[in-house]
Structure 1
Amino acid sequence: MIHDATRKPTREGVIAALESLGDIPLPPTPLLPTEIRGVLVHVKCENLQPIGAFKIRGAWWRLNNLEGDHAVAVSSGNHAQGVAFAAKQLGLKATIVMPRDAPRVKLDNTRALGAEVVLYRRPGEDRDAVAAKIIEEQGGTLVHAFGDPWVMEGQGTAGLEAAHQLGREPSRIITCCGGGGLAVGLSLACPSAAINVVEPEGWDMVGQALARGELVHASDNPPKTICDALQPTVTKQLNLDLLAGRAEPGVTVTDEEVRNAQRWAYANLRMVVEPGGAAALAAALAGKAPIDKDTVIMITGGNADPARFAETIAG
């Protein structure tokens, strides 16, 4: 397929992406009913994907539409595994730029899937510049984690699945948010659903951008967060344009609220959830996002570091 820099994601693209998942095949992830604050809600368990995160959806659809045979990506781990998985399935080369402080489980899993991993320092090095140099020297196509229209469409397939499982379109979807690619996809898949984006405190680049109507960059000295998967320093203009007037005001959660959500998911759902994958659940549990019987809460990843997860569960 010829690359079109002006292409925008569409609902039709989300539907086509869902059909393509049958080629893997990729079974739907569970939509579990559960009670939060006395209200019956539904939890979409993307932590049960083959790579442990929803990112497999967007990576698969993007690589099915790749120009050439070399995918280059930048990721703290979940998008990395999605691209590596799709590349292995399709017989393509994958090079992933990952931070040196990424969880060991994510680094190991990405390499095990056959991808070449190039490490960079976070903070200190520009990961996009590292990826650009690889493309200049080796060729390849950048598969952006959240700013690529095909990736957005692929992520949106989770919304189509959830609506089918619920038997109707959700009234509200509460989703973990890094750069906003999943939120865009869900908004396309479920056009009448309210979309709540949830980010770590101090890393709410999407929420702030929605409030100001312009791109907002992370500070030079951003706070630490246990949500390693939710640390983009800025969203993309395309994401902001598609979410503006569509998404609800942004919500932030603390590290302790995230840990509480991890413990709650383990105790109530028997689920292992990584910190970034628990952000939406944390917002719902803390009363920071409204819920009703047709609310879907996204659990986006389960690639938790074993030792840190054990510490969290132990309290």
Structure 2
Amino acid sequence: MKPLDHSRIPDASGSSAPIISVAGLSKTYASGFQALRRIDLEIRRGEIFALLGPNGAGKTTLISIICGIVNPSTGTVTADGHDIIRDYRPARTKIGLVPQELTTDAFETVWATVNFSRGLFGKPANPAYIESILKDLSLWEKKDTKIMALSGGMKRRVMIAKALSHEPNILFLDEPTAGVDVELRRDMWNMVRKLRENGVTIILTTHYIEEAEEMADRIGVINKGEIVLVEDKHVLMQKLGKKQLTLHLQSPLTALPSGLQSESLQLSPDGTELVYTFDTQSDETGIATLLRRLNEHGIDFKDLRTSESSLEDIFVSLVRGRS
């Protein structure tokens, strides 16, 4: 894919200004349902940002407002310096959106629909660029095929091609891999990495939390219309992650000795395992202390293993904590 020229814009402090700024954003529908509650959020230029949340949390409403599809009730949003209400056209030109729904003209060919999308944004014809997109998405051999004749996975590829047709520097992927095959998922994430290398900012929502764990630079969690947390992925894993040390005992225990009883140390129901849970930020010398105390009580083990919280574990605990 041809590199895009998206220069970094410094702010007064010399760091990169956010490419998307959301301030005091709320949305209440005519029915009275409040989908968003005073959202404040900044997306950094050139990052991959994963927005996670349960169904009905407000993810799609937030994306729709930023993309100019839904009007906010209160608050402001700027995209690459353009207010989405006052400067609608330049703001929207900066953004590509791949929605959850497969909505495109079934009777057009792949080439025609992608080329037409480019023209909608006032971009001059650029067959070489359209060709590069279609090849990157394994659509080149289908360029003259009508959309109605494509499989669901191929239609999803066309939606991505349409979103990229006008060379946006912000790309929203709303549940892009829902219901698609493994091959498309792999191709899509390879493409996302390439776009990010070329300076495109990626914002994605996904139910496949392992994808966010692998791809994202930062994680945002939204629940009941409110931002619960925004954090660098690695910092989040360190702050909220837990580690577990499981010891397989030589001989089963009926109960823990009084000197070992602790909320962080649990005996399995059959008495054959001890599970020690500790914070990933804490000093792991606690393990050495535990092993010494086990030895003092004459408790021997034959094997041990460690495990660590996944992003999914952290997400579930955050959402449950706010329910």
TM-score with structure 2 setting the length: 0.28
Structure number with higher helix proportion: 1
